[in-house]
Amino acid sequence: MIELRNLNKSFRLNGVTKVVARNLNFTFPTGESVALLGGNGAGKSTLLRMIAGVVEPESGEIVSTGSISWPVGFAGSFHPDLSGVQNVRFVARIYGVDTDSAVRFCREFSELGAHFNLPTRTYSSGMRSRLAFAMSMAMPFDTYLIDEILAVGDASFKAKSQAILGERLKSSGAIIVSHNMRELKRLCTSGVYLSDGQAYYYPDVTQAIAHYRDAMRSTAAMDED
């Protein structure tokens, strides 16, 4: 269970104030994979980071039961002077995961080869993303927070990532931000449309997608006028 209580958060984008949460009260259903939809600048990624504890709300609180991942693929926590394997061991210890098992999994899944033993500051953005995704999948969570990570890597890595994520979601819930509606239909059962600081929940993900598409068409029509 992840509950948002009287949550308030806004940010500035291109000189314009965008509201992510306006006295928002909402509970994400336990054990469900929920699509989080909204227009550009609606604050989907910011909301994920607040749930993860990476970003603080201006007021209100987020109450949760069970374990919640960091945003899957988020590489901001890597220590640049530590190698890939050292970063994995460090994070595994924090989450109480067997370090040797985590290292074996990440070494194989990330496909970094010899780079796995080099400092992460030497990695390309794609290499960091692959390692970050592998680390996310190596740690068991009750709820995974996912922000467009399925777009990372070549076709083979994407297929592998989609397969293992599907396996994880058989026993865990998720909140997923993506512009790929086909993937959202495949992975999610329900959906939330975020707009002007409010969350609109739909028990059927196709209804949430329909709301999103209608809103995008309306915005495009207004831009043409």
Do residues 34 and 7 lie in contact, with contact meaning Cβ atoms separated by under 8 Å? no
The predicted structure's pLDDT at residue 46: 93
Q: Tell me yes or no: is domain 1-67+179-225 CATH 3.40.50.1400.
A: no
Q: Model confidence at 8, in pLDDT bands (50, 70, 90)?
A: very high
For the chain, give the mean pLDDT: 91
The residues spanned by each domain of the chain are 1-67+179-225
Q: Alpha-carbon distance 7 to 203, whole Å?
A: 22
What's the pLDDT tens digit per position in 111-153? 999 999 999 999 998 899 899 899 999 999 999 999 876 556 6
- Residue 82 or residue 17, greater confidence: 82
48 close to 32: Cβ distance less than 8 angstroms: no
- Owner of token pair 């043409």: 224
pLDDT-derived band at 86, boundaries 50, 70, 90: very high
pTM comes to 0.88
pLDDT confidence band for 14 (50 / 70 / 90): confident
* pLDDT of residue 83 exceeding 90: yes
Convert the pLDDT of each residue in 146-198 to its tens digit. 987 655 667 888 889 889 998 999 999 999 999 889 989 999 999 999 999 99
Residues whose CB falls within 8 Å of the CB of residue 197, separated by 6 or more in sequence, listed in order: 8, 10, 19, 20, 21, 22, 23, 24, 43
What's the pLDDT score for residue 129? 86
Helix locations, 53-154, DSSP H: 84-94, 99-110, 125-138
Model pLDDT for residues 37-77, shown as the tens digit of each residue? 999 889 999 999 999 998 999 999 999 989 999 888 666 67
In this predicted structure, what is the pLDDT of residue 53?
Answer: 92
Q: Residue 169: what pLDDT?
A: 93
Q: How confident is the model at residue 139, as a pLDDT?
A: 92
